[in-house]
Amino acid sequence: MATRPDARAAYDAYLAECPARQLLDRITNKWVSLLVNALSTGPQRYSDLSRRLASVSQKMLTQTLRNLERDGLIKRTVTPSVPVRVDYALTPLGEGLIPVMHAIKNWAEENMDEVLAARNRYDIDAAD
């Protein structure tokens, strides 16, 4: 049985082999951030998500949804009908990401002008 310090060290994201690092890698993906934000308003169909996330490929959307389902962050619900209806929704675990993802998205939108100006200054300085 692991002691409390051992348990904490087992999930130290600064360590290369840490499972928490893999999870951080997953949830910091741009598509995950946008999917969590999109699903924060409630369950949605695949086609709705595809339209909402402009420029996401079908392969990337499918892969991202499967990974999130595997991690327990979203739930896929199949409703037998013609055609079959598939809905995606955040699980309670996934809902815990909403405040974080909203904050990151809002920060990016609110600070984009300043970031663009900094990039421009950097590019001018680098060219000299």
User: Would you tell me which CATH number, out of the four given (1.10.10.10, 3.40.50.300, 3.40.50.720, 3.20.20.10), belongs to the domain 16-127?
Assistant: 1.10.10.10
β-bridge partners, 87? 45, 77
pLDDT of 1: 45
Domain boundaries, the chain: 16-127
Contact 90, 98 (CB under 8 A): yes
Provide the residue-wise pLDDT of the chain in tens; the chain has 128 residues: 445 555 555 688 888 888 888 888 889 999 999 999 999 999 999 999 999 999 999 999 999 999 999 999 999 999 998 888 899 999 999 999 999 999 999 999 999 999 999 999 999 999 98
Contact 74, 65 (CB under 8 A): yes
| DSSP-derived 3-state class of residue 86 | strand
CA distance 41 to 35: 11
Q: Would you call 25 exposed, middle or buried from its count of C-beta atoms within 10 A (0-12, 13-18, 19+)?
A: exposed
